[in-house]
Amino acid sequence: MRKRAHINTMGCQMNVQDSGRMRDLLASMGYEPEENPHKADLVLVNTCMIREKAEEKAFSFLGRMAKIKRRRPHLLVCVAGCVSQAHGKAILKRAPYVDVVLGTGAVTRLPKLVEQRIATGLPALDTEMDQPGFGPLPGPRTGPTAFVTIMTGCDNFCSYCVVPHVRGREKSRPPDDVLAEVRVLAAQGVSEVTLLGQNVNSYGKKEGLCTFPELLEKVHAVDGIRRIRFVTSHPKDLSPELINAFSGLDKLCGHIHLPIQSGSDRILAAMNRKYTADAYMDKLSALRAARAGMAVTTDFIVGFPGETERDFEKTMDLVCSARFDGLFAFKYSDRPHAPASRLDDKVPEKEKARRLAAILDAANAIIQEKNQALAGSVLTVLVEGASKQAGNQATGRTSGNRVVNFEVPKGMENQLKAGAYVDVAIEKGHAHSLWGRVLPSGGGKKPWEMCHAA
Ligand code: 5AD
Ligand code: SF4
């Protein structure tokens, strides 16, 4: 009998990576992937709890699984990820139909837990926080881009954040392991890698491995890799050496995601971020000086406990002066274990919503203006595939991580498949994407290494 597993991945790229490993482990147990949870014999939900909404989403999905299980009693319901790590046994109380609960450190023990559940008939639970290894090398790839985990966990303890409590302490992966994985990916046709960690700037420090800029140089030397990206960086650890890498390493894309969270020093201190707004702005200027067209994106939290109108004004001033190329903003949400949840002076929900709308309005107007200013330039795009909008359109990204949509000219269908690098003459800039026309290959185009960072 064929067995089928449906995996629902919520949250960040860390969870996407973990789900990939669990998919492979389930395959080794004979489970084939299944899109439709109604047809599955096993459902695995990999949960996120960065904000309350994410956690609610996990429980509402579980509620739907309970209904399916009434009709398919043999269905095994497994809950992995950050909600499992934080709540463990309490999940079994709240959702007694759940069969397996495994935390973020128990990913590799999924097969054992499923077998244990089947053998004993009792729910299996594993929230041991022993550090996960970095797992086997990736299976065959078809797309041109891939994420490579270089570190797990976080040591920063920002006062609002649940991550250090559900992902454990920072641990870096030896450079040789990282390089082995990058080489395998390159041999499979991947040309763009994104190095992944909660705080890549402190890579290797604790273990005395090489520094992050040194790791970038090693990845840069791998044949077949044409673009390198990384996420995420903490502003306090952004070193001059890393800023220099944007001048010295051609393959390093001209984009950095550098979450600032607030423009008020008082709030930054209460968040335990360990930098001031001025220090952030100095680093922003240095980054922009290091690479022409450097794209900088960021995150903000609005309505942190005690955030006054004056604090928020400072955030709005910074949004206007920093002119970010992309921005995510979130309403502050109390999280279990995070010290800020115990602070008084909470900002009312309605006020948080007003501040969120104000920040997004201001930022989106600037982003659109910057995108429109790119009209008339020629940017190199890594084609990622067909565009969602129309059949004859394709989509890809620039070095600066901007999405570019373009029409595929007749006769060029074969040259413009996922993985191709093409020069696109930008014609229009929208709030979240660019529109352009593909230039014929060869026609005086610059090699990709010289491409404009935008
Ligand atoms: N409430 C709201 N936003 C949060 N983030 C992290 N924790 C919280 C929280 N408790 C945001 C931060 C971070 C992004 C991934 O999520 O902006 O950079
Ligand atoms: Fe990722 Fe944080 Fe969500 Fe966990 S809680 S999945 S680490 S974003």
- Cα(314) to ligand 2 centroid in Å equals 28
pLDDT of residue 447 exceeding 50, the answer is no
- 274: alpha, beta or left, given left = phi > 0 and alpha = psi -120 to 50? left
Tokens, residue 37: 């949870």
Nearest to 46 by CA among 4, 3, 17, 76: 17
The neighbour count for residue 425, using CB atoms within 10 Å, is 14
Banded pLDDT at 390 (limits 50, 70, 90): low
- The verdict on whether omega for the bond into residue 232 sits within 30 degrees of 0, i.e. cis, is yes
By alpha-carbon position, which residue is closest to atom 16 of ligand 1? 50
Banded pLDDT at 16 (limits 50, 70, 90): very high
Which mutation among 162, 169, 232, 257 tests ligand 2's pocket best, with the greatest number of atoms within 8 A of CB?
A: 162
- Cα(440) to ligand 2 centroid in Å equals 43
Banded pLDDT at 311 (limits 50, 70, 90): very high
Query: Going from the N-terminus, what domains does the chain have, and what CATH number goes with each?
Result: 3-126 (3.40.50.12160), 137-253 (3.30.750.210), 255-372 (3.30.750.200), 378-449 (2.40.50.140)
pLDDT of residue 440 exceeding 90, the answer is no
- Cα(85) to ligand 2 centroid in Å equals 11
Contacts of 214 (CB under 8 A, 6+ apart): 175, 204
Q: Which residues pair with 302 in a beta bridge?
A: 331
* Low-confidence winner among 127-131, 134-138, 210-214, 394-398 (lowest mean pLDDT): 134-138
Nearest to 107 by CA among 135, 142, 66, 73: 135
pLDDT of residue 365 exceeding 90, the answer is yes
Atom of ligand 1 nearest to the CA of 261: 17
Task: Look at 413 and 93; give whichever has higher pLDDT.
Answer: 93
Nearest to 43 by CA among 20, 16, 66: 66
Query: What is the C-alpha separation between 82 and 142, in angstroms, rounded?
Result: 29
Contacts of 134 (CB under 8 A, 6+ apart): 149, 152, 173, 177
Its pTM stands at: 0.94
pLDDT of residue 1 exceeding 70, the answer is yes
Q: How many helices (H) and strands (E) does the chain have?
A: 13, 19
The percentage of the chain sitting over the pLDDT mark of 70, rounded to a whole number, equals 96
Residue identified by tokens 């790839």 is 141
